[in-house]
Structure 1
């Protein structure tokens, strides 16, 4: 009877796990007529997660600290020399496609140079209360809620 049991060879292919991407982003703030405003940017149509809104920033390169990486990214993306302030939030987010990010947010209250659009589809100053009206990246949504509800104002 044992000879009649058919053996099945099962091959399981495991997709290589994607490394955790270390990312930094800036909450560039100013006082506007309607209260505190933050600078937001929209991805181009040909980029991954096209036309989603985000805060400027990017990947931490090997050998860089978070503040150093953010200053470099803001110079590359917006042409500014930013004074990086304190870290106000850190989020780990896993996307449906398997990618994961560790995202640190820093306050920027001062910078030198005009804001230049070097890589974005659109960019603008937005009052904190209006942030939920924009289609932000999934990793940013918790922070968007907290900012729009005024929960982080004491930190920034």
Structure 2
């Protein structure tokens, strides 16, 4: 092998190694920033990460909204109609946020309740986010399987 070919081979090998390292770091960073959606039933079953951020999807339980009089703190309960999860949020809620409406909240579990950093509400009367509808359907199937009903 001539010295020129040897140099080319070394340069190509270094470029390929650099591309592989960059691709690996990119995939790792993307995986750490992903937030998966879980229903209250899945959270209670232990499928949600204990300390990492994730999204909680479901319906705001009727008569569960409690607003603090001296701050923007709001406590409410998200349900998939089988299990309930208390949620704490500090900030301005979307205009469409109300009881009985579908929401997706991003945050993490702390001391048995969900502390949200962002709350998104559905945009009309007939729309339910596909992820929320799928999570509720999965909870419904799990509930039926547990009860043994068809």
- Answer yes or no: same fold by TM over 0.5: no
Name the larger-Rg structure: 2
Identify, as 1 or 2, the structure richer in helix: 2
Identify, as 1 or 2, the structure richer in strand: 1
| Larger RCO (CA within 8 A; separation ≥ 6) | 1
* TM-score normalised by length of structure 1: 0.30
